């Protein structure tokens, strides 16, 4: 059934086709022998009626006169012809000729058996790679699912019976040992001629004790052996049996991943293979469909990962030239790189390469402050904040590399991160710090002096620091009144603030202090008024920026801890315990 030539429909019309001999049959002219099986011979033939090349299978001469062999041969033709599936070799015709006896014709397959491919792979050939082999295997599984659902078990699945076409087509061939399940198989001639292929037979088939015990799980074992071989190029138990009815010797064998550790066999395929190769049939997957779903899930995941990696690569190819230009302090390139990185993350893409680009842009923005001038600095600082939101761990990792620390965790401390900021921002040797950077660090320092944010890592305060606005108040000026809507919290940086209800002063705050946050958190109106006592300055954080900051677990967790501590202290004062 195998041919590597590219003949025309009628081989007699092709100068390169086989030389046919007319043995007297009216329809078929026989060509070269292309294969032998246990009881049959396969030859090329020209179908005179349809003017096409076919593969014609006949009984071998020494079996032609044996009634049971003739029955088995006819059963093989009927079973194969009934399995109409793209991955099962199709049968065209069956009959008996005075010239060559019982026969049936099949599609002439172009390609090679899988065992040749595996032999080359075992000798070190790099192609086809495992994903392609698994694509072949999935097609085999679909064919076997089809035949099992129609009550047929192949019973001789092995690489020699799998044909791979030149375009990746896959055909399961040689159904000579197929068993029909149920009442339809009770009279099969194959029950008296049971056989199989050593190394691929299931333990129950190799024992040869009772054909009735064989069911779909015998094929599942053989498919497990085939998958093991695809993964490792080795059989799990090459000496397990000398044939049907002979002594079956069980050999413990390692999983594919342990047998071939250098091949990096995926865990899910390793486990799937070993499930199929369970010694007891009841311990194997209940159907071939389970194997198919497992293999397809792996292939689908791999395809998705490959498409995702291709998409990431396209983004990186766009970002890298912009980062090169941004390193020269060019505002347009910095802004374009920022937008490109944000688009990548907006597409739900996240990878080490993208996070690294975000970190590079973050630190490039610091450097660019010196080159662009203070008029452009707010844009750069805003970009730094965006990159910190997108890839905070990559930014910290970049700081770790810059400070010579061993891991990102080593620079989570405030001083290390602040030192990295100062060093990168002054990398061209210019001092003092650019004003926007100095102002950013000053704002972070104000936040850190407030108990509410004292334990929040400095790099997690960038967003809030950028959103702060500084306000100045004269003596007696009211910042907010009782019953006002809570729209901001205040960080007292200089002067004093009185918290009062009507004319009763409840508390006097000195710098640094935070006030107004409770109403902001619980969403209620102000429960007291705040007014300046003398000339006073405050950093003001609007409610929308505070709410956004609270979405960061590093911020919200620590703020919640401070508020819980305040509540415990208040409870203790109230109840004296």
Residues ≥6 apart with Cβ < 8 Å to 525: 483, 484, 485, 486, 519
C-alpha Rg value of the chain to the nearest Å: 39
Take residue 469 and report the two structure tokens written for it. Answer: 């606005």
Kindly state the tokens that stand for 375: 């008029």
Task: For residue 57, give the 3-state DSSP assignment.
Answer: strand
Q: What is the largest CA-CA distance in the chain?
A: 124
Tokens of 525: 């109106």
Task: Give the single-character DSSP code of 79.
Answer: H
Which of the following is catalytic: 7, 47, 156, 174?
156
DSSP, collapsed to helix, strand or coil, labels residue 123 as coil
156 is catalytic: yes
User: How far is residue 36's CA from residue 42's CA, in Å, rounded to a whole number?
Assistant: 6
For the chain, count helices (H), then strands (E): 18, 18
- Dist CA 171 CA 154 (whole Å): 13
For residue 524, give the DSSP letter.
P
User: Could you tell me how far CA 62 lies from the centroid of its own chain?
Assistant: 55
2-3 and 109-110 strand pairing: parallel
Q: What is the DSSP letter of 467?
A: H
Burial class (CB in 10 A: 0-12, 13-18, 19+), 563: middle
Q: DSSP for 233-280?
A: SS-S-TTSBSSTTS-B-------HHHHSGGG---HHHHHHHHHHT-SS
**Catalytic residue positions, numbered:** 156
């Amino acid at each position: 059934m195998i041919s590597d030539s590219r003949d025309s429909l009628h081989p007699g019309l092709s100068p390169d086709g086989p030389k046919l001999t007319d043995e007297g049959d009216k329809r078929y002219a026989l060509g070269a022998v292309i294969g032998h099986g246990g009881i049959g011979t396969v030859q090329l033939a020209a179908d005179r009626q349809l003017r096409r090349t076919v593969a014609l299978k006949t009984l071998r001469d020494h079996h032609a006169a044996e009634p049971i062999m003739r029955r088995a041969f006819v059963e093989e033709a009927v079973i194969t012809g009934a399995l109409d599936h793209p991955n099962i070799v199709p049968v065209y015709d069956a009959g008996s000729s005075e010239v060559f006896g019982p026969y049936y014709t099949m599609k002439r397959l172009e390609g090679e058996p899988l065992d040749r491919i595996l032999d080359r792979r075992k000798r070190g050939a790099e192609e086809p790679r495992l994903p392609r082999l698994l694509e072949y295997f999935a097609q085999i599984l679909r064919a076997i699912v089809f035949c099992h659902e129609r009550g047929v078990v192949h019973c001789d699945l092995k690489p020699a019976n799998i044909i791979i076409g030149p375009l990746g087509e896959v055909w399961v061939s040689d159904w000579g040992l197929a068993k029909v399940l149920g009442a339809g198989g009770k009279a099969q001639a194959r029950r008296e001629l049971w056989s199989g292929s050593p190394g691929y037979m299931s333990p129950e088939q190799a024992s040869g004790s009772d054909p009735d015990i064989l069911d779909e799980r015998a094929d599942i074992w053989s498919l497990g052996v085939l998958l093991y071989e695809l993964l490792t190029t080795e059989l799990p138990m090459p000496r397990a049996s000398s044939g049907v009815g002979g002594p079956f010797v069980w050999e413990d064998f390692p999983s594919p991943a342990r047998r071939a550790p250098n091949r990096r066999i995926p865990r899910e395929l390793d486990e799937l293979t070993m499930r199929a190769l369970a010694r007891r049939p009841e311990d194997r997957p209940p159907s071939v469909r389970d194997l198919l779903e497992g293999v397809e899930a792996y292939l689908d995941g791999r395809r998705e990962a490959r498409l995702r990696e291709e998409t990431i690569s396209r983004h990186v190819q766009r970002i890298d030239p912009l980062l090169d230009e941004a390193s020269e302090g060019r505002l347009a390139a910095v802004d374009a790189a920022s937008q490109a990185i944000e688009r990548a993350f907006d597409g739900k893409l996240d990878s080490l390469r993208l996070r690294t680009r975000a970190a590079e842009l973050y630190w490039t923005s610091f450097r660019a402050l010196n080159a662009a001038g203070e008029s452009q600095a707010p844009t750069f600082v805003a970009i730094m904040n965006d990159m910190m939101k997108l890839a905070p761990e990559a930014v910290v990792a970049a700081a770790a590399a810059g400070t010579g620390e061993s891991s990102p965790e080593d620079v989570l401390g405030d001083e290390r991160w602040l030192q990295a900021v100062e060093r990168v921002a002054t990398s061209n040797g210019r001092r003092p710090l650019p004003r926007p950077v100095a102002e950013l660090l000053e704002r972070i320092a104000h936040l850190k002096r407030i108990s509410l944010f004292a334990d929040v890592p400095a790099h997690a305060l960038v967003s809030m620091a950028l959103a702060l606005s500084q306000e100045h108040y004269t003596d007696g000026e009211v910042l907010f009144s009782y019953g006002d809507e809570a729209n901001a919290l205040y960080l007292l940086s200089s002067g004093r603030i009185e918290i009062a209800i009507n004319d009763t002063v409840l508390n006097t705050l000195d710098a640094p202090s935070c006030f107004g946050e409770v109403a902001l958190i619980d969403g209620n109106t102000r429960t007291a008024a705040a007014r300046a006592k003398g000339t006073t300055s405050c950093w003001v954080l609007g409610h929308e920026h505070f709410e956004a900051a609270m979405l960061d677990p590093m911020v919200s967790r620590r703020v919640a801890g401070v508020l819980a501590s305040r509540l415990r202290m208040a409870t203790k004062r109230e109840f004296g315990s």
